[in-house]
């Protein structure tokens, strides 16, 4: 992943240096097992432990000739270890090392992501609590529907993000497997006990039935969980973008000192971070799709998955962590323009209360629901067309067929805060972070 969309910690994790370090740890662990079986002398194991040094530059130079990264790695180690290197990689196949190490790196990346998730969830929950009773216009199809609250909107995003985090944690648990079972997974060149020993040191469980590789449904599940988390962030950031539109400007992404919004228009304050997160979420969905195609490898394996995973695993984990951190910044510094929220709430001249009006007319006049609907709809359509001639309440109150409805009843219908008594009950259903 490019530096722009990744943290130093995640870049270090997915670096060649770190990958080869994990490969070396796995090779040394295998040698320790063989030493316990009497295959290596104490001196040979000492040489392997202390002399298995390398440089990425040297490995790359060898790979340029042999065109095989594991062989290049082993050759570089052998140059420094000396004669004892004949025991390194004994009985193993490349995927024993590569697949097991990759799972270890996935788990490390998952830990960074989970930490970022926890930070975002706290910020979103605190925001929801702060604005629990701030009434705003609810919308369906982009059109005013009924009033809701800003806090309730964000509580929904908090709940969704919490589920996304739980899915990712489950997917990471599903990745806590490795394999040291040799070519095609039959332990033909080593005993299963070697695998048990090495994987215990790696904090992994043995893949119950491996081929030459760990089955790729585990990786696909992980990438799908990442993609769904990305879509949850997309939905949150899209809401912020929509509520920042000039006509409403109920919310506004933080605009920092010295920041410029447009090369041509000095007035611009654009939701650029939110837009960036929405765009990157689309990339995550593409990576999940690629991971699905990596599942059906030929027979016991081919390497069609390998090149793709060198891109999608570092990129997807880097992007999600970055998106979580940026979302935390946006929500934690979000500007709420409460007067604009009130103005937008009144923009449709009471139409948000048409549903309540329908129920009140039906109840108080004893007319059929169909007749009541026709009266309220007619008043609503007239309000859409000519709001200057009267809002929804004024039109309904002026209707002689509704004269039996008292002023207090109309006050209740058009009270924008009357539903707030139920908000606490909704909040009580959702566990705090």
Q: What is the pLDDT of residues 149-176, one digit of tens each?
A: 999 999 999 999 999 999 999 999 999 9
CATH of the domain at 242: 1.20.200.10
Query: Tokens in use for 10?
Result: 């995640």
Note if 262 is an active site residue. Answer: yes
Q: What is the largest CA-CA distance in the chain?
A: 104
Of 63, 87, 111, which residue is a domain's last? Answer: 87
State how far the Cα of 274 lies from the Cα of 266, in Å rounded to an integer.
20
| 173 in the same domain as 55 | no
State how far the Cα of 357 lies from the Cα of 25, in Å rounded to an integer.
71
**Amino acid 262: pLDDT:** 57
Q: Given 15, 111, 262, 355, which residue is catalytic?
A: 262
**Amino acid 265: pLDDT:** 66
State how far the Cα of 128 lies from the Cα of 131, in Å rounded to an integer.
5
Note if 141 is an active site residue. Answer: yes
State how far the Cα of 326 lies from the Cα of 116, in Å rounded to an integer.
10
∠ CA 174-203-433 to the nearest 5 degrees? Answer: 60
Is residue 148's pLDDT more than 80? yes
pLDDT in tens, 307-321: 999 999 999 999 999
| 268 in the same domain as 131 | yes
Query: Tokens in use for 363?
Result: 């109840």
Average pLDDT over residues 327-343: 97
Is residue 429's pLDDT more than 70? yes
State the chain's mean pLDDT as an integer: 95
pLDDT in tens, 3-32: 999 999 999 999 999 999 999 999 999 999
Q: Does 390 map to a domain?
A: yes
Q: Given 67, 141, 267, 299, which residue is catalytic?
A: 141
CA 48 to chain centre: 41
Q: Does 418 map to a domain?
A: no
**Amino acid 2: pLDDT:** 82
State how far the Cα of 89 lies from the Cα of 81, in Å rounded to an integer.
13
Q: Can you tell me whether residue 142 is helix, strand or coil?
A: coil
**Amino acid 266: pLDDT:** 65
Sole residue written with tokens 């699905």: 292
| 211 in the same domain as 177 | yes
Going by pLDDT thresholds of 50, 70 and 90, the confidence category of residue 142 is very high
Q: Does 431 map to a domain?
A: no
**Amino acid 155: pLDDT:** 98
| 156 in the same domain as 229 | yes
State how far the Cα of 12 lies from the Cα of 8, in Å rounded to an integer.
6
Q: Does 292 map to a domain?
A: yes
| 110 in the same domain as 77 | no
Residue 287 near residue 315, CB atoms below 8 Å: yes
Higher pLDDT, 263 or 388: 388
Of 54, 87, 120, which residue is a domain's last? Answer: 87
* Cβ neighbours, 10 Å, residue 209: 9
Query: Tokens in use for 126?
Result: 């605190």
Quote the percentage of the chain above a pLDDT of 90. Answer: 93
Q: Does 403 map to a domain?
A: yes
Is residue 340's pLDDT more than 90? yes
Quote the percentage of the chain above a pLDDT of 70. Answer: 97
Strand 143-149 to 135-140 pairing: antiparallel
pLDDT in tens, 272-301: 999 999 999 999 999 999 999 999 999 999
| 238 in the same domain as 321 | yes
Sole residue written with tokens 């994987």: 199
Q: Which residues of 179-196 are buried (b: 16+ CB within 10 A; e: fewer)?
A: bbbbbbbebeebeeebbe
| 356 in the same domain as 340 | no
| 339 in the same domain as 323 | yes
Q: Does 118 map to a domain?
A: yes
Strand 177-178 to 143-149 pairing: unpaired
Domain interval for residue 355: 351-413
Query: Tokens in use for 47?
Result: 């040489």
Return left, alpha or beta for 269; rule: phi > 0 is left, psi -120 to 50 is alpha, else beta.
beta
State how far the Cα of 148 lies from the Cα of 417, in Å rounded to an integer.
9
**97, 116, 125, 111: which is closest to 24 by C-alpha?**
97
> If you ran DSSP here, which 8-state letter would residue 67 be given?
-
| 355 in the same domain as 214 | no
State how far the Cα of 345 lies from the Cα of 121, in Å rounded to an integer.
28
Q: Does 380 map to a domain?
A: yes
CB-count exposure of residue 8 (10 Å: 0-12, 13-18, 19+): exposed
**Amino acid 260: pLDDT:** 63
Total tally of structural domains belonging to the chain: 3
pLDDT in tens, 219-274: 999 999 999 999 999 999 999 999 999 999 999 998 777 666 656 666 668 889 99
| 294 in the same domain as 247 | yes
| 170 in the same domain as 28 | no
Of 68, 87, 106, which residue is a domain's last? Answer: 87
Q: Does 422 map to a domain?
A: no
| 100 in the same domain as 249 | yes
């Amino acid at each position: 992943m490019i530096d722009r969309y990744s943290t130093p910690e995640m870049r270090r994790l997915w670096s060649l240096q770190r990958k080869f370090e994990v490969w070396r740890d796995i090779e040394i662990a295998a040698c320790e097992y063989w030493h316990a079986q009497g295959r290596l002398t104490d001196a040979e194991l000492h040489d392997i432990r202390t002399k298995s040094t390398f440089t990425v530059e040297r490995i790359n130079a060898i790979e340029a000739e042999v065109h095989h990264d594991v062989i290049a790695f082993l050759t570089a180690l052998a140059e420094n270890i000396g004669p004892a290197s004949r025991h390194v990689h004994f009985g193993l196949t490349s995927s024993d090392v590569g697949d097991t190490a990759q799972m270890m790196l996935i788990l490390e990346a998952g830990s960074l992501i989970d930490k970022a998730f926890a930070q975002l969830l706290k910020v979103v929950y605190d925001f929801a609590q702060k604005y629990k009773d701030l009434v705003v216009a609810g919308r369906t199809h982009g059109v005013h529907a009924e009033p809701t609250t800003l806090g309730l909107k964000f509580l929904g995003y908090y709940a969704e993000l919490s589920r996304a985090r739980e899915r990712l944690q489950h997917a990471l648990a599903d990745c806590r497997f490795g394999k040291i079972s040799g070519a095609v997974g039959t332990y033909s060149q080593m005993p299963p006990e070697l695998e048990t020993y090495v994987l215990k040191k790696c904090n992994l469980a043995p893949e119950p039935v491996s081929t030459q590789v760990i089955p790729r449904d585990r990786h696909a599940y992980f990438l799908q969980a990442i993609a769904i988390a990305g879509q949850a962030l997309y939905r949150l950031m899209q809401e912020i973008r929509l509520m920042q539109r000039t006509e409403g400007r109920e919310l506004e992404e933080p605009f920092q000192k010295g920041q410029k919004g447009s090369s041509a228009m000095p007035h611009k304050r654009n939701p650029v971070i939110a837009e960036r997160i929405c765009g990157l979420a689309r990339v995550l969905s593409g990576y999940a799709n690629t991971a699905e195609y990596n599942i059906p490898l030929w027979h016991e394996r081919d390497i069609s998955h390998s090149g793709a995973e060198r891109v999608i695993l570092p990129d997807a984990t880097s992007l999600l962590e970055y998106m979580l951190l940026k979302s935390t910044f946006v929500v934690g510094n979000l500007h709420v323009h409460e007067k604009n929220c009130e103005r937008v709430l009144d923009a449709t001249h009471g139409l948000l209360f048409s549903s309540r009006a329908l129920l009140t007319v039906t109840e108080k006049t004893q007319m059929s629901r169909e007749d009541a609907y026709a009266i309220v709809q007619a008043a609503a359509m007239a309000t859409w067309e000519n709001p200057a001639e009267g809002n929804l309440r004024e039109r309904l109150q002026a209707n002689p067929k509704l004269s039996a409805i008292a002023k207090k009843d109309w006050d209740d219908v058009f009270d924008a805060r009357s539903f707030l008594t139920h908000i606490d009950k909704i909040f009580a259903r959702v566990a705090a972070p």
